């Protein structure tokens, strides 16, 4: 894997503004988008076709790695979300591995994954063009409703698990940052995963350079201990997220009152949290299989996707779309 300083800055072959374009092998990224063997992969022609890309208005959110804005593609009037991350500062780097992951994201198509429409490198920043989800994040939903009823949580979780199965089996990616802020919803009731691949890797880097407690509290024990981890680390994170949605609070206690080391110790050393008995046996079983401390015994996403809890409430007459409208 190459460091940022070893990537070739190509300002002569492709005239660009700012820092030029970044090239690794047959992959290149600049203001015109990501190219593979000279072929453009971006849906839109140029970064300059986006209205709002550099404006303070329509900011959807801030993260440790950058800012997400609502932008409009002038030629088509299509609305997108644009995530912009500075590269080469605060420990944030763009490696050959991440350029290859950008290519994989371009080729990804799944109803439970936020669609990727292109990536651009312009004036020292990486910008990723994504599907706009007009109902915000699962974190926003929790702030409003505090608790998500089990029947709706089952349906929401089903989408997340199917998205993870696709990431793990088809794209061969570990998300590494499953948390309420990275689960998006729209007014049609669709639930989709975002911030994976290169976006998640850069965010992860920036978080460690600053404060990463918001991500840490969903990390699996093996990741916290610095051990090797697999796609099953995403399953642990999912288990913590859905427990938080069901209980209305973090399963290991009020993390705002814990020190950094107390939080680490709770996840690694304490008994696995369990749901109160009023929740269905299927839900309790799903959580226990997701929060298995021994990674080798934790279920893969393709196994969990067949779990009975995920379809238990399919015919109950309730749906996420109607609940979001309340």
Instruction: Write the pLDDT tens digit of every residue in 86-140.
Output: 776 544 556 666 666 677 777 788 999 999 888 888 777 888 888 999 999 999 9
pTM for this model (two decimals):
0.84
Ranges of residues in the chain whose predicted pLDDT is under 70: 1-20, 45, 54-57, 63-65, 88-101, 196-214
Q: What's the sign of the alpha-carbon dihedral 308, 310, 315, 318?
A: positive
Listed in sequence order, the residues at least 6 apart from 149 whose beta carbon sits closer than 8 Å to its beta carbon are: none
State yes or no: 5 annotated in a binding site. Answer: no
The Cα angle at residue 134 between residues 131 and 137, in degrees rounded to 5: 90
Q: Which CATH class name applies to 138-324?
A: mainly alpha
- Region(s) of the chain under CATH 3.30.200.20: 4-131
- Catalytic residue positions? 177
Q: What is the pLDDT of residue 319?
A: 93
Q: What is the pLDDT of residue 1?
A: 31
Question: Regarding the domain with residue range 4-131, which homologous superfamily does it belong to in the CATH classification?
Answer: Phosphorylase Kinase; domain 1 (3.30.200.20)
d(CA 211, CA 225): 17
Q: What is the pLDDT of residue 12?
A: 30
Q: What is the pLDDT of residue 300?
A: 95
- Region(s) of the chain under CATH 1.10.510.10: 138-324
d(CA 7, CA 21): 10
Q: Is 211 exposed, middle or buried (0-12, 13-18, 19+ CB in 10 A)?
A: exposed
d(CA 55, CA 71): 9
Q: What is the pLDDT of residue 11?
A: 30
Phi-psi region of 130 (alpha: psi -120 to 50; beta: other; left: phi over 0): beta
Phi, psi angle pair for 190, to nearest 5°: -75, 145
């Amino acid at each position: 894997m190459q460091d940022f300083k070893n990537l070739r800055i190509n300002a002569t072959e492709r005239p660009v503004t700012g820092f030029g374009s970044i090239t690794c092998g047959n992959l290149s990224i600049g203001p015109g988008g990501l190219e593979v063997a000279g072929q453009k992969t971006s849906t839109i022609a140029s970064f300059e076709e986006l209205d709002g890309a550099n404006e303070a208005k329509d900011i959807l959110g801030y993260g440790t790695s950058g800012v997400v804005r609502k932008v409009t593609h002038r030629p088509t009037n299509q609305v997108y979300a644009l995530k912009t991350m500075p590269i080469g500062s605060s420990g944030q780097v763009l490696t050959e591995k991440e350029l290859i992951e950008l290519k994989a994201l371009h080729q990804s198509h799944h109803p439970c994954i936020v669609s990727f429409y292109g990536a651009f490198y312009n004036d020292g920043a990486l910008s990723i063009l994504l599907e706009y989800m007009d109902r915000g994040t699962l974190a926003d939903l929790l702030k409003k409703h505090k608790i998500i009823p089990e029947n709706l949580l089952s349906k929401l979780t089903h989408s997340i698990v199917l998205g993870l199965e696709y990431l793990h089996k088809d794209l061969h990616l570990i998300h590494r940052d499953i948390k309420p802020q990275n689960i998006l919803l729209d007014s049609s009731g669709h639930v989709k995963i975002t911030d994976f691949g290169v976006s998640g890797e850069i965010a992860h880097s920036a978080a460690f350079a600053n404060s990463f407690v918001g991500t840490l509290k969903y990390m699996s024990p093996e990741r916290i201990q610095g051990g090797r981890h697999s796609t099953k680390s995403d399953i642990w994170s999912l288990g913590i997220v859905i427990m938080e949605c069901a209980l209305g609070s973090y399963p290991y206690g009020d993390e705002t009152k814990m020190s950094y080391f107390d939080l680490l110790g709770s996840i690694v050393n304490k008994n696995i949290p369990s749901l109160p008995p009023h929740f269905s046996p299927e839900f309790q079983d799903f959580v226990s299989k997701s929060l298995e401390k021994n990674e080798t015994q934790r279920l893969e996403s393709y196994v969990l996707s067949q779990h009975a809890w995920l379809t238990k409430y399919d015919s109950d007459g309730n749906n996420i779309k109607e609940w979001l409208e309340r």
